Amino acid sequence: MSADLLPIAIPTGQRPAPIAELFYSFQGEGVNLGRRALFVRFLGCNLTCGYTDAPTSRHSPAQGSMLCDTEYTWNSAKHDLSAGARHLTPQAIWDELIQLDPTTADPTLPPIDLIVITGGEPLLHKDAVLHLAHQARLADRHVEIETNATIKPGPDLVAAGVAFNAGLKLASSAVPRKKRIKPDAIRQLEASGRARWKFVVSTVDDLAEVATLQAEFGLTEIWLSPEGTTPERVMEHMRMAAAPALQHGWNLTTREHVLIWGGQRAR
């Protein structure tokens, strides 16, 4: 049976999930670049980008050139993860998103039809993600899930009609390969037909590794995303990646939120 024909599983549990922030902004990268969206950012991640292992103190030195720009969702050595964090049931998350939608207060505005679920790693909270995906489908809204592609989404989430912005991590993240490359999860995401493969790049070595991973797993739709939390760094890495992207048939996105607001949270 095609995944598109599988029934949507409606989770009955309403176990609270840890939320770093809910906000309204533009999707800053990828196929929906510049599109207005409602964002859900979960706490917690199973990777430690920028470090070979979890930092033990706020002075732990970075070991990779690709640093995580949302360390405040998982790095307890450097950040107080409880600051501003809330534990909300999936339905409470949905209700707050609807209140954030400016069309709730002013129905004359064009509707917002995109919800971006991110983190951290949102698939650590799969029940909550599935509930949001189901609610979005009932409301005729599209969902993009930002994932590091190490956790299998499962047929129920694929059947809910979401898209996956699958951000495989490269060696420049300093995360050991056995932790960042999970073949079963990669193959399930690719087989779903709903994955867009996003690679954060800052060096020519990154580009060579993207080509190797594409060949190894038969990855289709590839997007290069420039590493950087300042406009200058984003533009530098876009220029580095532009010609190779055209040569290999890859897409190249910018990071619009960084160009506008720098590294501000909830943007």
Query: Which residues line the annotated binding site?
Result: 26-28, 41, 45, 49, 68, 70, 118, 120
Query: Which residues line the annotated binding site for substrate?
Result: 26-28, 41, 118
CA distance 125 to 20: 13
CB within 8 Å of 267: residues ≥ 6 apart: 23, 25, 28, 257, 260, 261
Burial class (CB in 10 A: 0-12, 13-18, 19+), 175: buried
Query: Which residues line the annotated binding site for [4Fe-4S] cluster?
Result: 45, 49, 68
- For residue 70, give both structure tokens: 């949302």
CA distance 124 to 204: 32
What type of residue is 10? Answer: I
Where are the alpha helices (H) located in the chain, listed in sequence order? 90-100, 102-105, 126-138, 155-159, 177-180, 183-192, 204-217, 231-248, 256-261
Report how far Cα 137 is from the mean position of its chain's Cα atoms.
19
Query: Which residues line the annotated binding site for S-adenosyl-L-methionine?
Result: 120
Does 120 sit behind a cis peptide bond, omega within 30 degrees of 0 on the bond before it? Answer: yes
- For residue 80, give both structure tokens: 């107080």
Query: Which residues line the annotated binding site for Mg(2+)?
Result: 70
